[in-house]
Structure 1
């Protein structure tokens, strides 16, 4: 075969190169995405309102919060994208192609349909190819199917159209690895027309919104409704009770200030600081988030879908058992029967590698120095390989392969067909283990026709192989159960192998909890949804089936998916949290939210804990600030109906928010008790609002008490003391609401919370006594007895808040 002419190549390249379509993420897109949230829009509106009220300082502070949050998020996400880009540039693959009758080495992207490729062991297959010739062709398709054992290929035509990748015995798929043999192949598809391209297209077409974004949007909408209701309600009441003598301009300013006061403006900054801190801690635990919000999403998952290979198992075959009267001899013969690559000194075949590792260095050296007279590589039709070796003055034929084939070639049927041997083979198969039978015979010096000598053999024994569990797998499964996470295995491997792994780690007990991709497709739409909660292991599943399973699970659960091969990319992108390992395909990395530097369940569990820590601290802030804001809003709104002046000036309301934001921001650094990590976390917006309103009413009661008690001292004194009481009660609320238990039984607060609380406490007392407080904010210096009364009210407020909180959680029964 001469191969294509260069002129033909150029014409075909005009139709497109051997590359995949991919969306290039630009820096400005990452930056803009930081602002495109409901809360971002809400804060921008709040800052504009502050400027309209003449409160430039507060407006600038809100804008600062927005910008800091955006820049921190941009920095983290852009750095992740740049790192991935650098990794891609370091990799440049080439392949050997025959054109114009000459061998040439070209870049993979220049391959075209019709090219003749010459592939050898260790080569990545650059496009979809049909094998033309070659011996011992074995391809590692784990990136496609998850199966750890290389697939034996043939150049013979297929008798029927394959229904799945595992049945395409004469086809090499783009991105897979030729692990054994040498072959000539013709390119039948490139770029987007390959299996890889089809998966990439499905990935690009998949649009998802993170669970974190959805929950923040829900909260933002609820706050917007409260704001709108605030303004309308206050205006309506004033019009109803005060009528014509109402100062509309002043009331509008006051109402808008109240509405802005309800907004937890530091929320994005609290979340970003918390997530950034979490990202740094996770980096030390070999978890790298591409987007910050993925950390919190990870803490919310209640189902984790993963392949077994490399995550639960080591992805390395090892010798499990040897059944023989002379186990050492069987292992030695199996080693001598290994096919060594030309110029190499160690096997590339996964079975031969396992046998190799089962021997001492001295035995390996002897095997390397053994004189091999002839060898016949493994043939998928014959299902065996044969080697003739010479040593100790004689020649020996060693035959290894499938038990059914080898036993038929042996003379000692009493052993090869014994009940013990048959039982060993069946048990190994049931447990998902692979087996190789070994036979031998001595031959004459002139007998070099291997095929002719493959008869009247002596059956030596059987070796079983397994892909062992990772040492951390069982503990990680138990830890996942403690955290309320269900594990699902989605693999391209055989059902027997997957089921055995499931039994070993305690995921399944019987065969009813496993289903194959073929059987899954036979189910009706209703049956698929119904059985998803019962099925634990999905074997021999295609990329489309993985995608469909994830999509259906998302209807009821928060789903994480750990993928690696490019076949996993659509499912990775569809999941609420897509996780990949650092050596995953580029397509899958692009689709992922989190990259793992260590592929194990243990690493993911650490990430989940960090996500739940972040969530817990975010909820602390939301509950505290909304409770305080709602309480102040209700009290100020209603009290304004009974007096001819504003109970607190707009600038004083905004100062309350500013001062209390500092310890609130420190909530992102707070410690979290172990019980907060025990179950998946959800943003229950109704529950958050309900508790905020309930405790807000307690706050309102004490605000009214403050109002009616200090009203007799005049407007300036009332506004000053109400300001101090509002700040101090919010500080007290923070230490109460940070745990659902009695406050002394909660985890120890972080040092930053303590420091900033003290600073805010001193500021709230000092500012009314200062000339700046009187000149700028309109305060009046309070008397000592008045401050003592404020302290008593705050202490009583803390006691009542603690009591209501404990009763609420006892009745509600959740954190």
Structure 2
């Protein structure tokens, strides 16, 4: 039977069918059923090595390299050149596969950290790993919980469930024991949906692959949201590929027209040149760099759910957060109670928490001052906090009486009563205390009629390191935006003390926000740093507006933050947040504090800068080679380099990039969120590429035949690795030293370049004399200084012009 057939049965029929009851299953029975039905997982994530190999072998650049080998084999037979191309293909594939396998292992280790739990009744209620739930278990779910199996509902209390995973509709559906045949039966809750509000209990019908979700889904694992910054990098790589393809195709066609070189030689030369020009190792360098950073930040209390989130973290310009628990201690101190009957106020304020045996920060503050009261009774009904009414309600049964207790924002509580002297006095007290930045909470009860018991005043002190955290953020030019449902007065006090705002007028409330059009909001959103009394949709609207000016990070917690979490470029939630918000987030924060987030943003900026070093280094060298090789192949009877020599110089110039992953990054670079300036960088690449190509062309025409190729190979390789010293900084290279490891790799590659030329005929090299070696080294150093000076002048001119900025993706 499926869920539709089972939905027509009565609760007792379900209990009989699954041999269970309201008390659930015994432990021995659970173990038996786990053996029969298996774990409650859709599909266990397995690392498929063959799939990884297949993905890398069929990579576009690898296929080009394979094509070069096949053409070389067909045209020239199995010689040293074809074997060398094959070796490079195998080596590149091996390195890529090894890194992808390591990355998959790392992601696997992250997934194991994201455990979900379900409340299950096995004699008594207990929290159990969701993967250990079996058919016949009796379970319960509350607001924010993700339904962990297909459930037949036996009890509910205004349970609204979001089924958008299956229906595509964002509007939640009321779930209850009585059957109403909507798209899905109202007495069935499906695995993968989540409780928006209310509460439900029921019997587990299906688990794992047997659930409705399991039948339409092949895998249940962490969703990999593509990095917005990665899109920019891929766009660059793609455009470079198009440019290179056009230029190489033109070279090939011109050679066909003028018959400068044999056709078979030009085919292999063109394919290999294209492979060498495009930054094919960008995915490898990026993955390796981000994996290392993911490990670093996980040790500081931030667990990434996708490693690509590190890139977006580094690109963040605006960090939106509530102040409670991040800038303040969230350890409230009860200052004063304003009530005609304090004892009654204390009793009804604490009654719901005592009966539930769950205490929030407000109730904890009461207990610290007055101790725990002895209260007998039960909670008949609990109404979750309503962000629009700003209050939470309970229906209590005390001494045989039904009493409704309401806690909430004083201004909302006051609306329940007609104006009176008592109300006016409390309003004045509230306004005075609120202006002082103190938190206020109103309390009312309703038995036969509504009764306003008064208001309680609390203080939430700043964290001891809050000012240091804000200073750290300012050092990174990271703009902190407070987005809170709290009152303007409390928000204002915190922001003024921390220097987030300079005067009391720099704050916008939800009411003021609603009066602004989208265009008007876009004009003020950068200038205003505090938004108070916000509703969930307000936060999402502010974030969407900010995204027009830079990457936005959002630190959230409650289910009311879901819209904002989905809107932000990077979403971070605390580990104690409801399950559904944790699932939607990009990173989990172990301890509620901004400090580890800011440290992680700094780490992300380092990553992006070092990845961009690879982009700049590769494209400057490749543009220079491409321009020079195109010119020489058209106007000379000798090719500038053989295909084998192109592959060799490509390996040599890429090798030092391993060290760039952990290279030093200047404080100046870290002061601003990175934004790859597409236009100005393209101009820079062309300028430096032309300078490098002139040096290569000049060197080529100083010699003849194989010796000319040998000199060009050496110059291309030596300058190709030395230029890393220059391109890694906007300053003159000798003013910002590279890390010792990078310098070691550069010197090693220079040595290998000269060593390879001694292999002579194998690589079609001519052995060079000491005089020629000194010539190459001298010309390489001169070229480095010319390139470095041109780069320095370019960036100075760009700075004077105010620079150009790319728009966000």
TM-score (norm 1): 0.70
CA contact (8 A) 1:735 1:743 kept: yes
- Per-residue Cα deviation, 1:88-131 (whole angstroms, up to 9, x for no partner): 1x543459999xxxxx99311699898557xxxxxxx89459xx
Q: Structure 1 residues 224 and 355 mapped into 2: Cα distance closer, same or farther (>3 Å)?
A: same
State the alpha-carbon separation in 2 of the partners of residues 34 and 566 from structure 1. Answer: 41
Structure 1 contact 432–500 (Cα < 8 Å) conserved: yes
CA change 1:644–1:319 in 2 (3 A) is same
Q: Which of 708, 716, 719 is the matching residue for 1:718?
A: 708
Aligned with residue 723 of structure 2, among 733, 748, 755: 733
- Counterpart position of 2:546: 553
Distance 1:64-1:276 versus aligned 2 partners, 3 A rule: same
State the 1:499 CA deviation. Answer: 4.0
Q: Which of these residues, 609, 616, 624, is aligned with residue 616 of structure 1?
A: 609
The 1-side partners of 2:766 and 2:479 are apart by 60
**Other-structure match for 1:680:** 673
Partner of 1:640: helix, strand, or coil? helix
Which of 210, 214, 230 matches 2:231?
Answer: 214
| Counterparts in 2 of 1:655 and 1:758: CA distance versus 1, 3 Å | same
Distance 1:30 1:585 in 2: 35
Q: C-alpha separation between the residues in 2 aligned to 1:71 and 1:111? A: 34
The one of 733, 740, 749 equivalent to 1:743 is 733
For residues 357-399 of structure 1, the C-alpha deviation after alignment (integer angstroms, 9 at most, x for no partner) is 358xxxx6xx87xx9999999x99999x9x9xxxxxxxxxxxx
Structure 2: 5+ residue runs without aligned partners? 1-9, 18-39, 73-81, 126-135, 141-146, 162-193, 207-212, 214-220, 383-390, 399-406, 414-420, 805-809
1:310 is paired with a residue whose SS is coil
Match of 1:753 in 2: 742
Match of 1:662 in 2: 655
Shift of 1:733: 0.7
Equivalent-residue separation in structure 2 for 1:610 and 1:401 (angstroms):
41
- Find the aligned partners of 1:493 and 1:9 in 2 and give their Cα distance: 46
Structure 2-normalised TM-score? 0.70
Q: Distance in 1 between matches of 2:613 and 2:479?
A: 27
Which residue is equivalent to 2:431?
426
Match of 1:798 in 2: 784
SS state of the match for residue 92, structure 1? strand
What's the offset of the Cα at 1:788? 1.2
Contact 1:502 1:537 in 2 (8 A): yes
Give 1:540 shift.
Answer: 4.5
After superposition, the Cα gap between the structure-2 partners of 1:64 and 1:691, relative to the gap in structure 1 and judged at 3 Å, is: farther
CA distance in 1, matches of 2:357, 2:320: 35
- Give 1:44's match in structure 2, choosing from 62, 79, 82: 62
Q: Is residue 106 of structure 1 aligned with residue 138 of structure 2?
A: yes
Residue of 505, 508, 514 corresponding to 1:514: 508
Q: SS at 2:635's partner residue? A: coil
Q: Structure 1 residues 44 and 493, CA, compared in 2 at 3 Å: closer, same or farther? A: farther
Matched pairs, number: 675
Instruction: Answer whether contact 1:227 1:260 (CA < 8 A) is retained.
Output: no
SS in 1 for 2:696: helix
- Cα deviation, residue 669, structure 1: 1.6
- The answer to whether 1:6 aligns with 2:12 is yes
In structure 2, C-alpha distance between the alignment counterparts of 1:784 and 1:401, rounded to whole Å: 86
Contact 1:648 1:722 in 2 (8 A): yes
Unaligned runs of 5+ in 1: 12-20, 99-103, 118-124, 130-172, 179-184, 192-196, 198-203, 325-329, 388-399, 407-413, 439-450
Cα distance in 2 for partners of 1:550, 1:401 equals 27
Among residues 89, 92, 103, which one is paired with 1:59 in the alignment?
A: 89
Contact conserved, 1:211 with 1:297, CA < 8 A, in 2?
Answer: yes
Q: How far has the Cα of 1:5 moved from its partner?
A: 5.4
- Residues 515 and 344 (structure 1), Cα distance of their counterparts in 2 relative to 1, 3 Å cut: closer
Aligned partners of 1:591 and 1:97: how far apart in 2?
A: 31
Whole-angstrom distance in 2 between the partners of 1:531 and 1:435: 29
Q: Are 2:364 and 1:353 aligned?
A: yes
CA-based RMSD of the aligned residues comes to 5.2
Query: Do 1:563 and 1:572's aligned partners in 2 also have CA atoms closer than 8 Å?
Result: yes
Residue in structure 2 matching 1:644, options 632, 637, 658: 637
The CA deviation at 1:734 is 0.9
Are 1:238 and 2:255 counterparts?
yes
The separation in 1 between residues aligned to 2:283 and 2:354, in whole angstroms, is 60
- Structure 2: distance between partners of 1:111 and 1:77: 28
Secondary structure of the residue that 2:731 maps to in structure 1? Answer: coil
> For the residues of structure 2 that align with 1:381 and 1:630, how far apart are their CA atoms?
64
Task: Name 1:767's counterpart in structure 2.
Answer: 756
- Judged with a 3 Å threshold, the aligned counterparts in structure 2 of structure 1 residues 570 and 336 are, in CA distance, closer, same or farther, namely closer
Residue 533 of structure 1 aligns to a residue in which SS? coil
1:169-568 aligned within 5 A:
174=195, 209-239=226-256, 243-244=258-259, 246-320=261-335, 339=350, 348=359, 350-357=361-368, 425-435=430-440, 464-508=457-501, 509-511=503-505, 513-516=507-510, 520-521=513-514, 523-568=516-561
Write the distance in 1 (CA, Å) between the matches of 2:484 and 2:323: 7
Conservation of the 8 A alpha-carbon contact between 2:251 and 2:633:
no
Cα separation, 2, equivalents of 1:402 and 1:803: 63
CA–CA separation in structure 2 for the residues paired with 1:402 and 1:245: 84
What are the Cα deviations for residues 625-670 of structure 1, in whole angstroms up to 9, with x where unaligned? 2111111221122122333221211100110011222112211121
Q: C-alpha distance in 2, partners of 1:491/1:57?
A: 59
The Cα shift of 1:617 comes to: 0.8
Judge which range, 683-692 or 212-221, deviates more: 683-692
Counterpart of 1:146 in structure 2 is none
1:382/1:725 Cα in 2 relative to 1: closer, same or farther (>3 Å)? closer
Give CA deviations for 1:535-576 in whole Å, capped at 9, x if unaligned.
Answer: 534444444443444334323321112222233334323322
In 1, distance between residues paired with 2:150 and 2:292? 46
Question: Structure 1 residues 798 and 373, CA, compared in 2 at 3 Å: closer, same or farther?
Answer: closer
The Cα of 1:505 is off from its aligned counterpart by 3.1
Where 1:579 maps in the other structure, the secondary structure is strand
Matches of 1:619 and 1:91, distance apart in 2: 44
SS at match of 1:603: helix
Distance in 1 (alpha carbons) for counterparts of 2:58 and 2:468: 41
Secondary structure, in 3 states, of the residue corresponding to 2:480? strand
> SS at the partner of 1:559?
strand
- The change in CA–CA distance for 1:668 and 1:545 in structure 2 (over 3 A counts) is same
Q: 1:47 to 1:425 in 2, by over 3 A?
A: same
1:63, distance to aligned residue in structure 2 (A): 2.1
Q: How far off its partner does 1:706 sit?
A: 1.2
Q: Is residue 701–residue 708 contact of structure 2 (8 Å, CA) maintained in 1?
A: no
CA contact (8 A) 2:722 2:746 kept: no
User: Deviation of residue 609 (structure 1)?
Assistant: 0.3
Distance 2:264 2:515 in 1: 69
> Would the alpha carbon gap of residues 323 and 725 (structure 1) be closer, same or farther in structure 2, given more than 3 Å must change?
same
1:619-630 pair list within 5 angstroms:
619-630=612-623
Match of 1:135 in 2: none
* In structure 2, distance between residues paired with 1:376 and 1:297: 45
Shift of 1:481: 2.8
The corresponding residue for 2:111 is 81
Aligned counterpart, 1:169: none
